[in-house]
Amino acid sequence: KLIWRLRNECGISADRLEWHGHNDFHKVHINGSTAWLYGVNALNGTLFGLGERCGNPPLEGAIIEYIALKGSLSGIDLTVITELAEYYDVVINSRIAPNYPFVGKDFNTTRAGIHAGGLRKFEQIYNIFDTTALLNRPPRVSITDKSGTDGIALWVNDFLQLKGDDRLSVMKVAKIQRWVMDQYEIDGRMSSITDEELEEQ
């Protein structure tokens, strides 16, 4: 209502209005989007939601919201989000939570065999958008006793960069799957199998 009054009753143009919010109630994106819809030209954001109290709108999330509102990329190169995360990690030496949207190490990683099966057969079943094309972040699988042969096949095919008919079937990775299950059933393992261990297998 305030934005409408500023625009329509006070005659303030959109280019002179911006929104600054915090994420105290998990409403930072909905409030920012609403401000845009009501005529605010810009919103304040910070990389990865850093800021006072519960943080400001994550810039990368705000960009995705903006694209959703516009219905197109509007010339935005989303791979920069991945580059910013790498800079944050390597140069600033600060860690982003593994499950953080868009940039966390595990944001598009599954451990479930049923999800890996979907990824292996038809990526759109599991992956909500083309993370490879848009963020330069292909979907990944982390191997546990719940990954099944689908998860192993996906990991191996991605690791070996096999495409099309060259991709290995679940039957071709059965021995690795047996080794993985032995880690949990015989050795009592609790953690995920590392990429290095899988590479050795």
Q: What is the DSSP string of 126-164?
A: T-SS-HHHHHS---EE-BSTTSHHHHHHHHHHHHTT--G
If phi > 0 it is left, if psi is from -120 to 50 it is alpha, else beta; for residue 80 that is alpha
Average pLDDT, the chain: 91
DSSP assignment of 89-117, as one string? HHTS--PPPTT-TTTSTTTTEE--HHHHH
Say how many C-beta atoms besides its own lie within 10 A of residue 168's C-beta: 15
Average pLDDT over residues 44-58: 87
pLDDT for res 190: 93
Is the model's pLDDT at 3 over the cut of 90?
no
- Going from the C-alpha of 65 to that of each of 16, 111, 140, 198, the distances in angstroms are 21, 28, 24, 37
For 111-166, the pLDDT digits (tens) are 888 888 888 788 888 887 899 999 999 898 899 999 999 899 989 998 898 988 89
pLDDT for res 116: 84
What are 28's two structure tokens?
């930072």
Say how many C-beta atoms besides its own lie within 10 A of residue 113's C-beta: 23
pTM: 0.78
What is d(CA 106, CA 98) in angstroms, rounded to the nearest whole number? 5
Q: Which residue has the tokens 């991605």?
A: 158
Q: Which residue has the higher pLDDT, 150 or 51?
A: 150
Nearest to 56 by CA among 22, 15, 84: 22
Is residue 109 packed enough to be buried (19+ CB in 10 Å), middle (13-18) or exposed (0-12)? middle
For 60-117, the pLDDT digits (tens) are 999 999 999 999 999 999 999 999 999 999 999 988 999 999 999 889 888 888 888 8
pLDDT for res 113: 81
Q: Could you tell me the pLDDT band of residue 1, with boundaries at 50, 70 and 90?
A: confident
58 strand-pairing partners: 46
Pairing of β 140-141 and β 109-110:
parallel
SS3 content of the chain, % helix, strand, coil (to 5): 50, 5, 45
